[in-house]
Amino acid sequence: MTRCLSDDVYPLHMNVGYSHGLTRGQLHATLSSMMDRGIVTASTAFSDADSSVTLTATGGSQWELERNPKWDSFISQRDNFADNRLTVVAPSERLGRYYIGARIAADIEIQAGPIAVRRNVNLNLLPWRHFKDLTVLRFACYPTGFGNPQWDMYYEHRSWWTTLAELASLNENRG
């Protein structure tokens, strides 16, 4: 395995005060998985102390995507099962309503009341990121209970992302 990535050398090599905390076996499994997915390539076998690991074009694209996401299409959703309410936080009311409409059309939720809207809200949706001028939409809803949401319909209409996996697929569909 590349020596510079081992847990004891990583902080010195990367000039940081922390390490990834992976054992040699975990690091090997992680790098192997990344190679299988086409994210990295290795110059020689991981067991070789002099091998080097490099991002592939796919890995570089994923790195850039995760480091500079399109925040104008980020949706945060919180379900409150105790009172059957869904809260959606979006950069715009239009995107929030579109998201809600897609969930209802795809039989993920059944709307059971009007949508309350609060505009120009400032929130920390993520521990490291403060968002300004958001729109918060909240409404009563119930799960469809049928157990067969039409996910194809949901993804067909999707112009937002809630996770990095969705962000990656959103970019693939746009590109």
Report the chain's mean pLDDT, rounded to a whole number. 84
pLDDT in tens, 53-82: 889 998 888 888 888 888 889 999 887 767
Report, as an integer, the average pLDDT of 108-131: 89
Confidence of residue 120 (pLDDT cuts 50, 70, 90): very high
DSSP-based three-state secondary structure for 73: helix
Task: State percent of the chain over pLDDT 90.
Answer: 29
With a cut of 90, say whether residue 149 has pLDDT above it.
no
pLDDT of residue 173: 60
Q: Say if pTM beats, i.e. exceeds, 0.75.
A: no
Domains in the chain, CATH or no CATH each: 3-57 (1.10.10), 71-170 (no CATH)
Q: What's the mean pLDDT in 13-27?
A: 83
Q: Is the pLDDT of residue 29 over 80?
A: yes
Average pLDDT in the 84-109 region?
92
The residue among 110 and 4 whose pLDDT is bigger is: 110
Question: Which stretch of DSSP H or E encloses residue 124?
Answer: strand 116-126
Alpha helical stretches, state H, the chain: 10-14, 24-36, 57-67, 93-105, 151-156, 164-174
Six-digit token string for 49: 């102390």
The count of other CB atoms within 10 Å of the CB of residue 85 is: 16
How wide is the angle at C-alpha 114 spanned by C-alphas 111 and 115, nearest 5°?
90
